[in-house]
Structure 1
């Protein structure tokens, strides 16, 4: 089973590249952001909690995020693999993901980090906000999300590097050129 983590700050291109990888490798995409938005749109109890947290620019607690992720994996028992987009965001989440995957006899194959600088991220997200109107792309929330990534989330990378599972890709450039770098990495697994 091929299990990938696409890692990077908000606006790095995780969603764009994930979709291309899903199409090529027939992976099941699990985006915590998409899960949160679905719960919010369906006005579930969980969605209401998540909505307030996101509106305040905060991360959703690990217990909620991990439960939702486990539910999604279990919904797809015959999957060729999974691509985790936007998760894990902390070492505790990475450890929980590893423990859960081990309990279902699989593991993370590779973690691919898309490197993009802050000025490029700001420009990309401003453009995305104009097009999609996503509430989590508002300027005040954006600064907090990017800060959160560079202050906290980025510390997950050494966890996977210590396991020999980390690959870094320059996330600035043509989408297809970046994708070619990603597939060269994925094809090794």
Structure 2
């Protein structure tokens, strides 16, 4: 399964909950990159400059880290990708990777959100978490980059009949329920009951 949506649309939150519901790992390239930056690994030093500028990490680095992660044992029975692929070149690389493994995507969940709401969410998150990569200017730039590079992926996956569009505004539990209901309509049923969010606001 793949989650697509603009920065701040709630992909990370929903990825965690869906991974729990389907008992598969949530693979977030953003989390992987931030972990490496924080721990000043070789990869972290390479990607830090791109992240600080609000730019995407080059495909070669991203493809390598995703391939390595999906090769781990916990992803053998399924996985949920959050933040990858982000370009049509990455789509082609993921296609090759899945073909090599003899598997395919079951669904692409597109989470939509109003731009002003997204900016508000990310500014609040930056304040709470002290994230240097979430200034107002960088947020606007990231949204522009998303529209230019990532939105075309929706067309690619729509042509394959994989896209499920979900309104990302509203309480966390409500959005989760929307996604689970839409996936169930596709014959993809959760195997685990997830707890309601502690703070549904």
TM-score bracket for this pair, using the shorter chain length? over 0.9
Whether 1:181 aligns to 2:178 is yes
2:70 corresponds to which of 65, 69, 73: 73
Shift of 1:176: 1.1
2:21 corresponds to which of 20, 24, 28: 24
Cα distance in 2 for partners of 1:186, 1:178 equals 12
Cα distance in 2 for partners of 1:78, 1:46 equals 22
Shift of 1:77: 5.5
Higher strand proportion (structure 1 or 2): 1
Cα distance in 2 for partners of 1:119, 1:135 equals 20
TM-score w.r.t. length of structure 1: 0.94
Q: How does 1:1-189 map to 2 (within 5 A)?
A: 4-76=1-73, 79-187=76-184, 188-189=187-188
Bigger Cα displacement from structure 2, 13-22 vs 35-44: 35-44
- Partner SS, residue 17 of structure 1: helix
Shift of 1:78: 5.8
Answer yes or no: is the 8 Å Cα contact 1:28–1:79 preserved in 2: no
Q: Which runs of 4+ in 1 moved over 6 A?
A: none
- Partner SS, residue 59 of structure 1: coil
Shift of 1:26: 0.6
Cα distance in 2 for partners of 1:137, 1:76 equals 33
Cα displacement string for residues 58-115 of structure 1 (whole angstroms, at most 9, x for unaligned residues): 1101110010000001112664311100111111111111110110111111000001
Answer yes or no: is the 8 Å Cα contact 2:53–2:133 preserved in 1: no
Shift of 1:186: 2.5
Q: Please report the RMSD computed on the Cα atoms of aligned residues, expressed in angstroms.
A: 1.2
Unaligned runs of 5+ in 1: none
Answer yes or no: is the 8 Å Cα contact 1:7–1:111 preserved in 2: yes
The change in CA–CA distance for 1:19 and 1:169 in structure 2 (over 3 A counts) is same
Cα distance in 1 for partners of 2:29, 2:64 equals 11
